[in-house]
Structure 1
Amino acid sequence: MSRNRFTMPAALSAAALALLTLSACGGSDGASDPEPGAAAGGAAKPATGAVIKIADSPVGKILVDESGRTLYGFTKDKPGSSRCDSDCIAVWPALTSAKDVTAGTGVQPDLLTEAKLGEGAEQAVYGDWPLYYYVGDATAGDVNGQGLDGEWFVVAADGKLVKKAV
């Protein structure tokens, strides 16, 4: 019986960690279910089209999804093309959408495109930067991924990476 007391909390901790990771992976469609599931390859996949908008942050005005989740660019990406492998996507889920991603208030629609991933998925791209979430951002407005490894930065309304420290 004592064996079960130790394995059950570990199992619950693992389940809680998995749920936390999934809840930190993506935006919402603004409906009652704010946390989408993960799509193939770990990409965040809202049930409807995502909306990208501008929000204030500690480093200035930046791109966020419709629920206020911060979006990042990866300096190793090539213009419009992701270089984030499966290990990377586990921590930096790509912003993908079942429908077209649209430009909200303050976003330049001509900078918003999509790039093909594998298996028919498309990742939102703004300017030259494929867009990602960071699993370490637990709530809207978090910018915990800013500057990580000198490779991950929030994206400004003009499509450039913001390299200011938080």
Structure 2
Amino acid sequence: MIRRNRIAIAVAGGMATVLALVMWSTNAVGVQGTNVAQTAPAVEAAAAPGDYGYDTPAAAGTDAPAAGAQTSAADQPPAAAAPPAVSNIRLVAKTVDKMGDVVQDGDGRTLYRFDKDTPKPPVSNCNDACAVTWPPLVVPAGSTPQLEGVDPALVGTLKRADGTEQVTIDGWGLYTYSKDPGPGKWAGQGVGGTWFVIQPNGKRNVECLPPGVTAPV
């Protein structure tokens, strides 16, 4: 009954508005038309949407974030770690006459390990004048060498005293020998009883030792 009364009031109000507008347009004196014209909106505003037999629809997608809203860092997927850059330094595993299994750099120079270094943790003890005679094989920080026949799981780097990154195999730092006569030669084999050609697995190669140098235990 209450709803029907409200609808009747709304309809009556609408008719009153139409009559008032007609009177306003025909009144030569000029009635305050603005006040009369506001009668219908005022009546409609007073009636709730439910009084006309419908409900206000719920806003769609209320669970979605508002346009332009920023999500927190926790909502973002974790960024994938960038893979290490590959340098132009190469490690090449080879089997050569007389010496057997060796590792060479990209220029064919034989690579050595130094028994006074430590592999765990990897530390180089060849610095200053030693590093002039036995140049360490270094790569740019954050990069890895190209590999041919060498297990990537064995290859890493150590930080030298001067801050450079020296390539390692199984934790042992790699060096060339400044007195090697050319690619594929190994004049540094057995020098001082501490320098040895390195094998692809990081072990000493004890072939072709000079007289007086015995294979270490």
TM-score, normalised on structure 1? 0.66
Identity %: 34
5+ residue gaps, structure 1: 1-47
Displacement after TM superposition at 1:115 (Å): 0.4
Once the two structures are TM-superposed, the CA of residue 156 in structure 1 deviates from its matched residue by 0.7
SS at match of 1:51: strand
Which of 110, 118, 140 is residue 70 of structure 1 equivalent to?
110
Could you say which residue in structure 2 is the equivalent of 1:96? Answer: 138
Taking the aligned partners of 1:159 and 1:52, their CA distance within structure 2 comes to 12
- The alignment's TM-score, normalised by the length of structure 2, stands at 0.51
Q: Are positions 1:111 and 2:151 aligned together?
A: no
Whether 1:51 aligns to 2:90 is yes
Q: Distance in 2 between matches of 1:114 and 1:65?
A: 15
Q: Which residue type is aligned with residue 65 of structure 1?
A: D
Deviation of 1:81 (Å) = 0.8
**Cα drift, residue 86 of structure 1:** 1.0
Residue 85 of structure 1 deviates from its aligned partner by 2.5
Task: Report the alpha carbon displacement of residue 101 of structure 1 after superposing the two structures with TM.
Answer: 3.2
Please report the RMSD computed on the Cα atoms of aligned residues, expressed in angstroms. Answer: 1.6
Q: Cα 1:119–1:151, aligned 2, differ >3 Å: closer, same or farther?
A: closer
Partner residue of 2:46? Answer: none
Unaligned runs of 5+ in 2: 1-86, 210-217
Structure 1's 85 and 61: CA in aligned 2 closer, same or farther, altered over 3 A? Answer: same
Q: Compute the displacement of 1:67 (Å).
A: 1.4
- Bigger relative CO (Cα 8 Å, ≥ 6 apart): 1
Summarize the Cα distance change of 1:141–1:127 in structure 2 as closer, same or farther, 3 Å threshold: same
Look up the equivalent residue of 2:179 and give its one-letter code: G
Question: Is contact 1:62–1:155 with CA below 8 Å preserved after alignment?
Answer: yes
Tell me: CA distance 1:101–1:140, structure 2 relative to 1, closer, same or farther (3 Å). farther
Instruction: Give the C-alpha shift of residue 105 in structure 1.
Output: 2.0
> Does the CA-based 8 Å contact 1:103-1:109 persist in structure 2?
no
